[in-house]
C-alpha cells in the first residue's frame, strides 16, 4: 500500500518501466513447440530462464503484469545466492547497488542483549548478506534476461489454462494482443504464492499458518546507522510486539513491527496508524529528523509446501512450491536455489545428454531444503511471534535473563539462511566417505571458497558441468590423470582443478596452495578428490582416489545409466 | 547426581516460597520460569531436565 494520493507504482525512488504486450507468432497461427515455458517472471522465474540460457536452452517467460513488483518485499540476498547470480552473469549490478552486511544486534527493553556476527572467512568472495529492494532484484535480472537473447519474454501474458499430457503440456494464454495456445515439453510454475498453475492442477500446499502478524513498512530517512539487522524485543515504541529494522539502498529503511495480539489488521493498515507506530519506533531509535513513508504491507508466517515439486512435466519453483517465514530471509534465497537446481538438470535432459530420471532428484533435494528451512524458521518464528502464553513466558524469561547473563543470548539468534546439504540425495551416493575426513565440507554441501595467489577465487574456476578439485604433489599422478580423462569423456563441460599441495612445485595449470590454506579448508591430503556438481554442491569426496565410485557419482549427476 | 541432604532441601523450599512472595502474583510466573531456565542451564543435562519437567507436570496438567 502507498500513502493517500499515490498510485500503486508511485515510488519515492524507483522508476517503474511499463512493458507492452507483444504480438507473438502464435497469434498468426504459428504452432511451435517450445522446450520450456516458464510461468511467472518474478525473481525465481527470471533466474530459471537465465540458468537455462547459460546452457543454451531457450525458454518462453510469461508474466501477467506489465512491470515489476509494486513493493520492496524480499530484501536480503544471501551469499550462496550471490554465487548463483554470478554464474548466470547477473551479479555485477547487485554488487554495485546492494548493501553488504554481516552484523546484527538484538535488544530487549532498549538494552542490547545479542550481537549477531555472521561468519566471513577470509577466502569468501561474497559477504554473508546483501540488502537490495526486490524491484531492483527484478530489474537487474530482467536486464540480464533482455540481454541474453535466449529468453522470449512476454509481459501482460496470463496463463488461463493448463493441460498436461504424457509427452507435453499445453497452455492457454490471454494477453491484450490476443489469446493463444502454447505447447511445451516442460513447464516451470514460478507463478508465486497463489500459483494459478497449482490451483488449476488441483494441487494443495500443506503445513502450518502462524498467528503473529507483522506490518512491513519501507520509509525514507537520513539515518546514520551501519547496515546491520536490528531486532527489538519489547521496545517502548511498540509495546507487546517485536520490531525489526533493516537498511536498504537509496536511504530506504525497512521497519517490520509485530501487531499486538487481537489487534485489528484493518485498523493497523490505515495510513495514520502506520505513521504513528513507525514514528514511535523511530523515536525509540533516536531518529528525530523527518522521514517519508514509501510503502507498507502486512505479513504473517506460514510454513507451507507441496508434497511433490514435480507434477509430470510441470515443475514448481519458488513461492509456487513453498511459502516460508521471512525471519531468516529464506523466501527469495530458497527459491533461487530451486531455479539453479532444476536449471542444470533440465538443460542436460533437453540437450539429450541426460536421462529424464535426473529430474527425479529435483523434488527430494529442494523439498528437503524447504523442510530444513521450516525446522529452523519454525524456531525463529516462535521466538519472533510466541504463539501461546507458555512461549511468551519462556521468551520473556530468556530475554530478561539475557540482560545480565550470556547463556540465553543465543536464543535471540535469527538463524539466517544456510545453504542446504544434499547428503541424502540420490545424486550423493557415497556420503559414508565423509567419515574418512577430519574436516572440510561434507558431501552434499556447498564448498568453502579460497582466495588464490592471482587474486581470483577457487570457485571462479569451476565449470558449467562437473568440476573436480583434486589435491596432488605438483601435478596429477598417472592414476589421477587417467580418471580425469575419463571424466572429460563423460562430460564435455568437465573442468579439473588440480591443487598443488604446499611444498610441491606446481606444474602449468595446477593451482599453487602456497600457504596450505586450500588443503586445510578441504581437509585434504595427497590424492584427495572432490567432485562438484554444476550447482557447485559437492557430489562426493574421497580422501584417496576410488575411481569406480567417482565415475559412478559422475554418471548419476549427468543422468547417465550406471553400470 | 546426588540429591540434596534433607536440611538443605528444606532451606531450598523456604527460599523458593519467599522468592515467590517477593516477586508478587503478577511476576511469580516469570520468576519461576527464569529459575527453571537458570537451573536447567546449570544442570547441563537435557534428559534430566525433561524428566524433572514431567515430574513437576504430573497431576498439574489437564
Ligand atoms: C509483503 C512481503 C514481504 C516479503 N519479505 C520478504 C523478505 O524480507 N525476505 C524474503 O526472502 N522474502 C520475502 N518475501 C517473499 C519473497 O517476496 C518471495 O519469496 C519471492 O518474491 C518469490 O519469488 P517468486 O518468483 O517465486 O514469486 P513472485 O515474486 O510472487 O512472482 C510470481 C510472478 O508470477 C506472476 N504470475 C502469477 N500468476 C500468473 C499467471 N496466471 N500468468 C502469468 N504470470 C503469473 C506474477 O505476476 C508474478 O510476477 C516477502 C513477500 C511478501 C508478500
Complex ipTM, two decimals? 0.95
Write out A40-65 in H/E/C secondary structure. CCCHHHHHHHHHHHHCCCCEEEECCC
Cβ pair B30:A396 closer than 8 A: yes
Rounded to a whole number of angstroms, the distance from the CA of B8 to the nearest CA of chain A is 26
Q: Give the number of A-B residue pairs with CB atoms closer than 8 Å.
A: 22
Percent of chain B whose predicted confidence (pLDDT) is above 70: 97
C-alpha cell read off for A85: 547470480
Lookup: cell for A335: 527459491
With the most atoms of ligand 1 within 8 angstroms of its CB, the residue from A48, A49, A64 to mutate is A64
* CA–CA separation, A477 and A74 (whole Å): 49
B29 vs chain A: nearest CA distance in angstroms?
8
* Interchain pair A394, B37: CB under 8 A: yes
User: B5: CA distance to ligand 1 center in Å?
Assistant: 62
The answer to whether the CB atoms of A401 and B29 lie below 8 A apart is no
Q: What average pLDDT score do residues A190-212 get? A: 93
Distances (CA, A) of A46 to A38, A55, A294, A363, A478: 8, 15, 26, 20, 44
Residues of A within 8 A of B34 (CB-CB) are: 397, 400-401
Q: HSE of A503 in the Cβ direction (CA atoms, 13 Å)?
A: 4
pLDDT score for A329: 66
Question: Which of the residues B30, B37, B53 would you substitute to probe the A interface, choosing the one with the greatest number of A C-beta atoms within 10 Å?
Answer: B37
Could you read off the pLDDT of A146-164 as tens digits, one per residue?
999 999 999 999 999 999 9
Domain residue spans of chain B: 27-62
Question: Which single residue is written with the C-alpha cell 530471509?
Answer: A329
CA B21 to CA A29: how far, in whole Å? 84
Judge if the beta carbon of residue A162 lies within 6 A of ligand 1: no
Higher pLDDT among residues A444 and A373, named by residue: A444
More confident residue, A475 or A175: A175
Find cell 539466517 and name the residue.
Answer: A416
Residues A303/A377, Cβ–Cβ less than 8 Å: yes
The residue-averaged pLDDT of A287-306 equals 92
Q: Which residues of B touch A397 (CB under 8 A)?
A: 30, 33-34, 36-37
Minimum Cα–Cα distance from A401: chain B residue? B34
A74 lines ligand 1 (CB under 6 A): yes
Distance A538 CA to ligand 1 centre (A): 29
A1 lines ligand 1 (CB under 6 A): no
Q: Which pairs with CB-CB distance under 8 Å and at least 24 residues apart come from A197-203?
A: A197/A39, A197/A159, A197/A162, A197/A314, A197/A316, A197/A320, A198/A306, A198/A316, A198/A320, A200/A161, A200/A162, A201/A162, A201/A164, A201/A311, A201/A314, A203/A306, A203/A311
pLDDT band with cut points at 50, 70 and 90 for residue A328: low
Chain B partners within 8 Å of A407 (Cβ)? 41
What spacing in Å lies between the alpha carbon of A45 and ligand 1's midpoint? 10
Please give the mean pLDDT across all residues of chain B. Answer: 93
Q: What pLDDT, on a 0 to 100 scale, did the predictor assign at position A562? A: 66
pLDDT tens across A522-533, in order?
A: 999 999 999 999
Q: How many Cα atoms are found within 13 Å in the side-chain-facing hemisphere of B30?
A: 14
Query: Each residue of A463-508: pLDDT tens digit?
Result: 999 999 999 998 888 999 999 999 999 999 999 999 999 888 888 7
C-alpha of residue A349 to centroid of ligand 1, in Å: 28
Q: Which domains does chain A have, with CATH numbers?
A: 25-98+130-206+303-375 (3.50.50.60), 431-557 (3.40.30.120)
Query: Minimal CA–CA distance to A144: which of A66, A64, A77, A84?
Result: A84
Which three cell numbers, joined as nine digits, stand for A66? 506489465
Amino acid at each position: 500500500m502507498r500513502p493517500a494520493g499515490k498510485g500503486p507504482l508511485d515510488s519515492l525512488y524507483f522508476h517503474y518501466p511499463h512493458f507492452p504486450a507483444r504480438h507473438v507468432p502464435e497469434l498468426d497461427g504459428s504452432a511451435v513447440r517450445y522446450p520450456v515455458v516458464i510461468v511467472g517472471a518474478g525473481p525465481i522465474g527470471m533466474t530459471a530462464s537465465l540458468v537455462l540460457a547459460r546452457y543454451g536452452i531457450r525458454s518462453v517467460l510469461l508474466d501477467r503484469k506489465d512491470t515489476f513488483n509494486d513493493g520492496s518485499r524480499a530484501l536480503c540476498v544471501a551469499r550462496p545466492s550471490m554465487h548463483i547470480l554470478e554464474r548466470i552473469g547477473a551479479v555485477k549490478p547487485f554488487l554495485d547497488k546492494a548493501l553488504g552486511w554481516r552484523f546484527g544486534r538484538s535488544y530487549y527493553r532498549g538494552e542490547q542483549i545479542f550481537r549477531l556476527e555472521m561468519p566471513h572467512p577470509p577466502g569468501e568472495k561474497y559477504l554473508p548478506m546483501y540488502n537490495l529492494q526486490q524491484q531492483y532484484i527484478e530489474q537487474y535480472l530482467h536486464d540480464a534476461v533482455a540481454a541474453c537473447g535466449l529468453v522470449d519474454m512476454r509481459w501482460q501474458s496470463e496463463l488461463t489454462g493448463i493441460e498436461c499430457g504424457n509427452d507435453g503440456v499445453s497452455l492457454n494464454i490471454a494477453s491484450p494482443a490476443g489469446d493463444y495456445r502454447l505447447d511445451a515439453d516442460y513447464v516451470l510454475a514460478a507463478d508465486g504464492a497463489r500459483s494459478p498453475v497449482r490451483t488449476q492442477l488441483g494441487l494443495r500446499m500443506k503445513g502450518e499458518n502462524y498467528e503473529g502478524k507483522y506490518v512491513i513498512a519501507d520509509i525514507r530517512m537520513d539515518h546514520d546507522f551501519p547496515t546491520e539487522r536490528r531486532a527489538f524485543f519489547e521496545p517502548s515504541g511498540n509495546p507487546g510486539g517485536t520490531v525489526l529494522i533493516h537498511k536498504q539502498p537509496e536511504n530506504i529503511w525497512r521497519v517490520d513491527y509485530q501487531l499486538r495480539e487481537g489487534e485489528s489488521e484493518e485498523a493497523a493498515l490505515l495510513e495514520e496508524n502506520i505513521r504513528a507506530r513507525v514514528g514511535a519506533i523511530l523515536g525509540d531509535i533516536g531518529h528525530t529528523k523527518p522521514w517519508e513513508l514509501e510503502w507498507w504491507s502486512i505479513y504473517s508466517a506460514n510454513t507451507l509446501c507441496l508434497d511433490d515439486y514435480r507434477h509430470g512435466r510441470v515443475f514448481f519453483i519458488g513461492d509456487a512450491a513453498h511459502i516460508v517465514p521471512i525471519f531468516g530471509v529464506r523466501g527469495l534465497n530458497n527459491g533461487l536455489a530451486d531455479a539453479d537446481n532444476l536449471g542444470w538438470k533440465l538443460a542436460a535432459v533437453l540437450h539429450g545428454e541426460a536421462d529424464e530420471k535426473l529430474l527425479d532428484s529435483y523434488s527430494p533435494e529442494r523439498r528437503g531444503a524447504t523442510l530444513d528451512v521450516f525446522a529452523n524458521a519454525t524456531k525463529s518464528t516462535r521466538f519472533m511471534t510466541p504463539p501461546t502464553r507458555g512461549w511468551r513466558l519462556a521468551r520473556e524469561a530468556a530475554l530478561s535473563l539475557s540482560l545480565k547473563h550470556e547463556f540465553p543470548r543465543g536464543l535471540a539468534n535469527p538463524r539466517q539462511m544456510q545453504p542446504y546439504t544434499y547428503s541424502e540425495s540420490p545424486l550423493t551416493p557415497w556420503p559414508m566417505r565423509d567419515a574418512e575426513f577430519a574436516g572440510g565440507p561434507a558431501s552434499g554441501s556447498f564448498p568453502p571458497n579460497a582466495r588464490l595467489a592471482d587474486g581470483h577465487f577457487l570457485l571462479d574456476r569451476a565449470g558449467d558441468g562437473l568440476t573436480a578439485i583434486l589435491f596432488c604433489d605438483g601435478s596429477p599422478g598417472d592414476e589421477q590423470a587417467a580418471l580425469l580423462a575419463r571424466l572429460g569423456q563423460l562430460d564435455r563441460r568437465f573442468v579439473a582443478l588440480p591443487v598443488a599441495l604446499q611444498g610441491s612445485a606446481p606444474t602449468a595449470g595446477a593451482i599453487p596452495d602456497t600457504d596450505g590454506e586450500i588443503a586445510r579448508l578441504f581437509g585434504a591430503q595427497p590424492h584427495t578428490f572432490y567432485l562438484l556438481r554444476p550447482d557447485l554442491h559437492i557430489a562426493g569426496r574421497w580422501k584417496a582416489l576410488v575411481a569406480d565410485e567417482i565415475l559412478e557419482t559422475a554418471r548419476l549427476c549427468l543422468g547417465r545409466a550406471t553400470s | 547426581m546426588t540429591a540434596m541432604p534433607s536440611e538443605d532441601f528444606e532451606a531450598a523450599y523456604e527460599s523458593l516460597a519467599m522468592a515467590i512472595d517477593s516477586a508478587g502474583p503478577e511476576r511469580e510466573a516469570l520468576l519461576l520460569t527464569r529459575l527453571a531456565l537458570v537451573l536447567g542451564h546449570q544442570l547441563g543435562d537435557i534428559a534430566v531436565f525433561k524428566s524433572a519437567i514431567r515430574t513437576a507436570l504430573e497431576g498439574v496438567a489437564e
